[in-house]
Structure 1
Amino acid sequence: MITRKIVHVLSHNVVMAKLSTGKNSIVFGKGIGFKRTPGMKLDESEISQEFLIHTSEVLEHYEQVLSAVDSKIIGVTEEVIAFAQGQLEGEFSETIHAALVDHINFAVERTKRGIAITNPFAYEIQHLYSEEYDIAKRAVVFLNTQLDVVLPDDEIAFLAMHFHASRTKSRTVDSLELVRLVSQVIEEARAIGIFFESSFSTIRFISHLKSLIDRVRKQKTIHNPLLSKIKEEYTVSYEKAKHLSEAIEKRLHQPVAEDEIGFLTLHIERFNVHHA
C-alpha cells in the first residue's frame, strides 16, 4: 500500500506530499492541510484529487516557485487547477502547476501596482476555447475573492490558454500561434466587410477556421461535392473566401484546396444573409 507524508502545506485544502514510491504529488482534500505540518502522514480517505509530479525537472521548477511565491497564492492557484481539472476532460500536464502559479503571482502583482496587461486575442480565445474560457471565468471570480484583488477581464483569456495548453499537452506557443492566425484572418475578414457579432454564426466560423487551419497544416482536405454550385451562386462570398485563404496560405506556406475555399464561402455567406 502506498503511503504519503506531507512535504509542504499549501492551504487548508492543498498539500504537497512525498509518496512511499519516491514520487511527489500535489494532494487535494477538504481541510487536508488544516493544522498539519510537514512530516505528518496522510490518510487515503482524506484525498479527493491527486496530481503526480513525474519528472525531477518539473519538481525542481515547482520547488523554486514555492520558495519565491506567497503560499496563499500557491494554495489558491492549486485549488483553481483542481477545479478546472475536475470540469474539463483529459488529464492536465504536470507543467501547469508551476506555470500557473507563476502567471497568477505576476497577475496579482501587476494588478496591485495598477499595471493592466491586455490580451489582444481575448475575443478569439473566447470562441476557440469556449469550454476553457467558461471555467477560467469562474476561476477569476474565485481568485478575486480569495486574494482580495480585482483581476482584469483579460485574465480570463490568459487562464483559458493555460488550461487549453495543459489539457492538450501542447506548448502554449503552439496554441498561441493558432490564435494569432485566427485573429489575423478575422481582422482581414473585417477589413473586407464581414461583420462579426457575438452570434452562433461567429462561433461556427471561428471553429471552422480552426479545423481548416489544422487540415491545411496536415495537408488533408475534405471533398466538397457542391463546389461548382457554390462558386456559381455565391460569387461575392467566394471571392472573399479566396482572399482569406490567401492570408492563411501566406502564414502556413501551404496551399488551401479549392474545396476548402468552397466551405469557407458558405460560412461567409451566412454573415452576408444576416446583414443584408
Structure 2
Amino acid sequence: MIIKRVLNNNTVISSNSKGVDVLLMGKGVAFGKKKGQPVDMEQIEKTFLLKDKETQSKFTELLINVPMEYILVSEKIINFGKIKLGKNLNEIIYVNLTDHIHSAIERYQEDIILKNPLRWDIARFYPDEYAVGEKAIEIVRNDLGVTFEIDEAAFIAIHFVNAEMDRSSDFAYEIAEITKKIETIIKNHYRTEFDENSLDYYRFITHVKFFAQRLLAGDHYDDEDEELLNTLKHKYEGEYASALEIKEYVQKDFEYELSSTELLYLTAHIRRITKNL
C-alpha cells in the first residue's frame, strides 16, 4: 500500500484495492516516510475504514493530535459496547468517544473533574449503556493508568445512546431530563414511588424515552384515536389527568401539542405502573 498522507509518526492514510481511503496505525509506521512511499505492512497494528466520508475526515483530523494509545483504548471500549448492546452504532462514535477520552484525560491531568448531575437518571434509563461506561472506566484505568470518577461512566454512556439513534444528534441528555420530568409529574400526582425493577416500569420508561425522542425531533403520531381516548379517559380518570399534566408540561416547555394517540399511549402506560397502588 502507498502512503497518501502522513498524519503523524504512527498514522498514515493509504487506499485499499478498491481505491477507498483507509487509516493505518502502528508504532513508527510513518517515521521518516513521505507521500508516495510504500507502507511496511508488518508495522501496521490497526486499520480503520469508516464508510461515511465526513466522519472519516473528522476522525482523520482527530488522529493528528491524539496519542495512539487513546485511540486503541476507545476502539476497545466501542468493540465492548457493540457486543454488550447488540446494536448498530453510528460511526460518529469513533470521533466522539475518542475525543471525549482524550479531553477527559487532559481535564484530569489539570485536576478538573466534572460531576454529572444526571448520572443516576442515565444509569436508570440507560442501564446497558451505563454498564458500558463503567467498563470503559475499567479499561482506561488498566490500559492508560488514569482513574476516572464514576460520573465519567454516565458521560460515556451518553455517547453510546446517541450512536444508537437514527440521527447523529446529541439528544440523550435532553431525553434523560424529559424522562425524569415526566416520571416526577406522575410520582407527584400519585404521591408514590415505583418499582424500578418491574417489567411495567421498564416498558413505561422505554415508551417515554421514545416519546421524548419524537418530541425533540418534532415528530408526531397522527391524531387517530380520539374515540378510544374518550373511552379511556372515563375509565381511568386519574391516569388521564396525569397524562394531561404531561401534555401541559411539553406544551409549555417545548410548544409541542400531544395528539390523541400520544395521550392514549401515555394514559395506558401510566395505568400499567399505577394499577396496583
> If the length of structure 1 is used for normalisation, what is the TM-score?
0.73
The more displaced of 179-188 and 139-148 is 179-188
Contact 2:77/2:132, CA 8 A, preserved across alignment: no
Partner of 1:122: 119
Contact 1:195/1:271, CA 8 A, preserved across alignment: no
Partner of 2:33: none
Q: Distance in 2 between matches of 1:104 and 1:143?
A: 9
Q: In the alignment, does 2:103 pair up with 1:111?
A: no
The more displaced of 156-165 and 190-199 is 190-199
Q: Distance in 2 between matches of 1:118 and 1:223?
A: 43
Q: Summarize the alignment of residues 165-180 of structure 1 with structure 2, pairs less than 5 Å apart.
A: 165-168=162-165, 170-180=167-177
Partner of 1:218: 219
Partner of 1:98: 95
Equivalent of 1:242, from 206, 220, 244? Answer: 244
Partner of 1:139: 136
Partner of 1:185: 182
Contact 1:7/1:18, CA 8 A, preserved across alignment: no
**1:48 positional shift:** 8.8
Amino acid at match of 2:193: F
Contact 1:162/1:172, CA 8 A, preserved across alignment: no
Partner of 1:204: 203
Q: Distance in 2 between matches of 1:10 and 1:101?
A: 19
Q: Summarize the alignment of residues 31-110 of structure 1 with structure 2, pairs less than 5 Å apart.
A: 33=26, 37-38=29-30, 40-42=39-41, 50-52=48-50, 54-55=52-53, 58=55, 61-85=58-82, 88-93=86-91, 95-110=92-107
**1:91 positional shift:** 4.8
Q: Distance in 2 between matches of 1:47 and 1:240?
A: 57
Equivalent of 1:230, from 232, 235, 244? Answer: 232
**1:8 positional shift:** 6.7
Amino acid at match of 1:233: K
> Alignment identity in percent?
23
Deviations 1:65-109 (A, max 9, x none): 33433332222123223433455432532x333322221122223
Partner of 1:269: 271
Amino acid at match of 1:219: H
The more displaced of 236-245 and 103-112 is 103-112
**1:18 positional shift:** 1.5
Q: Distance in 2 between matches of 1:49 and 1:269?
A: 51
Which residues of structure 1 form unaligned runs of 5+? none
Contact 1:18/1:25, CA 8 A, preserved across alignment: yes
In 2 relative to 1, CA 97–211 (structure 1 residues): closer, same or farther, beyond 3 Å? closer
Partner of 1:19: 15
CA RMSD after TM alignment = 3.7
> If the length of structure 2 is used for normalisation, what is the TM-score?
0.73
In 2 relative to 1, CA 7–252 (structure 1 residues): closer, same or farther, beyond 3 Å? same
Contact 2:90/2:168, CA 8 A, preserved across alignment: no
Aligned residues: 261
Q: In the alignment, does 2:155 pair up with 1:163?
A: no
Which residues of structure 2 form unaligned runs of 5+? 31-37
Q: Distance in 1 between matches of 2:178 and 2:171?
A: 11
Contact 1:9/1:16, CA 8 A, preserved across alignment: yes
Q: Distance in 1 between matches of 2:60 and 2:147?
A: 28
Q: Distance in 2 between matches of 1:136 and 1:89?
A: 16
Q: Distance in 1 between matches of 2:194 and 2:109?
A: 34
Amino acid at match of 1:145: N
Q: Distance in 1 between matches of 2:97 and 2:259?
A: 39
